[in-house]
Structure 1
Amino acid sequence: MNNIFSGIPLIESPLFFKAKENWHLDDEETKIANDLHENGYAIFDFPDHALFDRIDRIQGHLGPRYGIDFDNAESNKTTGERRIQDAWKFDEDVHAIAANRAIIDLLSKLYGRNAFPFQTLNFPVGTQQEAHSDSVHFSSIPERFMCGVWLAMEDIGPDAGPLFYYPGSHRWPIITNGLIGRRGYGSDLRSAQDPYGPAWQALCDAHGAQQEFFLPRKGQALIWCANLLHGGSHQNDPRLTRWSQVTHYYFDDCIYYTPAFSDEALGKLMVRNPMAIHDGSRRNSSYLGEMVEEKSIASKKVNNSLGKRILKRIFG
């Protein structure tokens, strides 16, 4: 199929309903595609017959690293570490979930470019994080070629601080430094999200947006689009856990960067060179099939001292 709008993910294309006729989707894929296009997220059963065994091993392996007393049912589970980033580097089950071939193939079909996982986050409890769009943390040129897959590793009820989101918010403008009148390149922030909070709240107010909550059973997963506004709700019962894994995916033939610390109009980007988890290859930025040289953009790599401090503030 000749994709006129190749710089837009297929599931966000303005020609979505006409174009999807040529994608040869099965019934489940069609539902997922429709939900992503309309709502910005889609819920499905994670395709791994060994998933529950993997979850047990992950909890046993990562549990001691959080500093939480999981054995005591009455203990406060929210007092320890809330996340471990990139456990795929040392835990084979985290790696297997992130590198799941069926998920990679599905995302590649739905976005029109080959997907690759580049980051994992593992949580024992909810984040209680304010509403935000991932597009300020990691984005691409062309934009929107990033998504997340959130996997429930236990049944999650309303008192455990479930994930929330604003359906349809993925269609709202992507909030950039240019839109809110700030310079990002070279800046240092306590939180990469703070400057954008008022803009996201203003959009919610203008649209009369209402939160919806993800109350999954163990083994259910949720794909969300790059610009979907989402967060972690308040945990009403601190004795509860909320085990989950998030895997973030990029797509081939893009420039990968961190918008919160970039000024796109000036060509000053905090560039990322992400590792593809499933095959171990480094993915350098490219544009329309041409590799982008470091010297062609004023780049600040995320492996320098400022970048390391920034990533720590973003992800803990």
Structure 2
Amino acid sequence: MFENPLPGVPAVESPFFDAIFTKGTIDEDTLAIARQLRDKGFAVIDFPEPDFDRIASEIRDDLNDRYDWEHWRTAGYQAGESLRMQDAFKFNDNVRRIATNARVIEILSTIFGRQAWPFQTLNFPVGTQQHFHTDSVHFSSMPQRFMCGVWTAFEDISEDAGPLVYYPGSHHWPIYTNEHIGARAEQKHEIGAGYGALWRELVKQSGIEPERFTPRKGQALIWLSNLLHGGDKQNDPSLTRWSQVTHYFFEGCSYYTPLHSDPFLGNIAFREMTNICTGEIVRNTISGAPVPHRLVHPPAPAPIPSGSLLRRVARRAKAALTR
């Protein structure tokens, strides 16, 4: 039996892929998905839910009136805005059922080599029109790449409805974080522009061509965390694009937001996420050891007392300068 010397790399992205997934260790359907993910960074599946049509219909009926349709159709659409609802699983059992689908979790756990768990849902009635990006900037783990998304269509989606757009093979590129673009987390405006410029230049220099996902109802797309993806322009505002994204992490990692982190300045924006399946917060760990609470929740700097030595020294220094 193969002993994997890189347990901190997802099996699906490991240089030892072929040794890990030998004949008989994985079913053919799952192996085909793993190969698509390895080669392209995404894989298309039929969502494994026998009652899918009813569930999709009920989600649409329940969420429809919760969106600000009037604003979107009069101004939001032209401004490139989207309609989205985060974490509807908290009140909608059908959204939760999609997110916690046992077969999807089994597939992800097998091909990553660690137990998958869902931590976030996003429900969309229209296209996002979102600039292409990688999730690894927003949702990341240490070890890296133990995160993925599953996008599921609740209706047939055409090119005019602003479909999902992605760049096959871009997941092979390095994961770039703040230090690579010469920015710090505190530089909020500059940092966003820096990543956008980086992604555009990577696409330009590589010559990679985008693909668009125009699925039929019930199809889903799994993508790896470093795959460049976004939402295409919506050409027809009368069209809907009902869909759900579920984001997954994997056990045995630390979870954080690189966009808001500068690790070598002592700033790591840890995430404490809830496993949707269990309703419990998942603790940050690294190589089997829990991350100390003081690092996940660093104490705020204590205020300097008015009579402290430091203040007395400052007053004396000021007085000396004015003599």
- Fold equivalence (TM over 0.5): yes
Q: Which whole-Å deviations, capped at 9, do the CAs of 1:191-225 have from their partners, x for residues lacking one?
A: 97433011111111121010000010000000000
Deviation at 1:51, TM superposition (A): 1.1
Distance verdict in 2 for CA 1:269–1:75, change over 3 Å: closer
Distance 1:50-1:297 versus aligned 2 partners, 3 A rule? closer
Greater displacement, 86-95 / 187-196: 187-196
The 1:223–1:88 alpha-carbon spacing in structure 2 relative to 1, beyond 3 Å, is: same
1:308 matched residue in structure 2? none
Q: What residue number does 1:242 align with? A: 241
Q: What is the deviation of 1:75?
A: 8.9
SS in 1 for 2:280: coil
1:314 aligned residue: none
Q: CA deviation at 1:189?
A: 2.9
Pairing 1:180–2:185 present: no
Q: C-alpha distance in 1, partners of 2:3/2:114?
A: 13
Cα distance in 2, alignment partners of residues 228 and 300 from structure 1: 35
- Give the match for residue 314 of structure 2: none
Distance 1:140 1:175 in 2: 13
Partner of 1:119: 120
- CA offsets 1:164-214 (integer angstroms, 9 cap, x no match): 000000011112001111111xx2636974330111111111210100000
Distance 1:246-1:213 versus aligned 2 partners, 3 A rule:
same
Residue by residue, what CA displacement relative to the aligned partner does 1:248-294 show, whole Å, maximum 9, x if unpaired? 00000111001100012334211101000011111010011111013
Aligned to 1:291: 290
Shift of 1:17: 2.2
1:31 aligns with 2:32: yes
Deviations 1:9-29 (A, max 9, x none): 000001112321167222211
Q: Which letter maps to 2:159?
A: P
Moved more, 290-299 or 131-140: 290-299
| 2-structure distance, mates of 1:9, 1:23 | 20
- Contact kept? 1:77, 1:239, Cα under 8 Å: no
How far does residue 67 in structure 1 lie from its aligned partner after superposition? Answer: 2.2
Q: 1:234 to 1:287 in 2, by over 3 A?
A: same
1:196 is the counterpart of 2:192: no
Matched with 1:304 is none
Range with bigger deviation, 242-251 or 190-199:
190-199
Residues 23 and 85 from structure 1, CA distance in 2 versus in 1: closer, same or farther, beyond 3 angstroms? farther
CA–CA distance in 2 between the matches of 1:26 and 1:188? 47
TM-score (norm 1): 0.88
- Which of the pair has more CA radius of gyration? 2
Q: For the structure 1 residues 234 and 191, does the alpha-carbon distance in structure 2 shift closer, same or farther, using more than 3 Å as the test? A: farther
Match of 1:98 in 2: 99
Residues 1:32 and 1:215: Cα distance change in structure 2 (over 3 Å)? same
- In the alignment, is the contact (CA less than 8 A) between 1:254 and 1:286 conserved in 2? yes
Quote the residue 1:162 is aligned against. 163
CA distance in 2 between counterparts of 1:117 and 1:193 reads 26
Distance 1:297 1:279, change over 3 A: closer
Aligned to 1:310: none
- 5 Å-filtered alignment, 1:1-316, equals 1-21=2-22, 24-68=25-69, 78=77, 82-184=83-185, 187=186, 189=188, 193-296=192-295
Asked if structure 2 preserves the Cα contact closer than 8 Å seen for 1:144 and 1:226, the reply is yes
Contact 2:76 2:82 in 1 (8 A): no
Q: TM-score, normalised by structure 2?
A: 0.86
Give CA deviations for 1:110-166 in whole Å, capped at 9, x if unaligned.
101111000000000000000100111110000100000000110001100000000
Structure 1 pair 271–229 and aligned structure 2 pair: CA distance change class (3 A): same
Q: Structure 2 counterpart of 1:56, which letter?
A: S
Cα deviation, residue 30, structure 1: 1.3
User: Aligned pairs, how many?
Assistant: 295
Q: Percent identity?
A: 47
Contact 2:137 2:258 in 1 (8 A): yes
SS in 1 for 2:21: helix
Matched position secondary structure for 2:294: helix
Query: Which consecutive residues of structure 2, in runs of 5 or more, have no partner in the other structure?
Result: 301-323
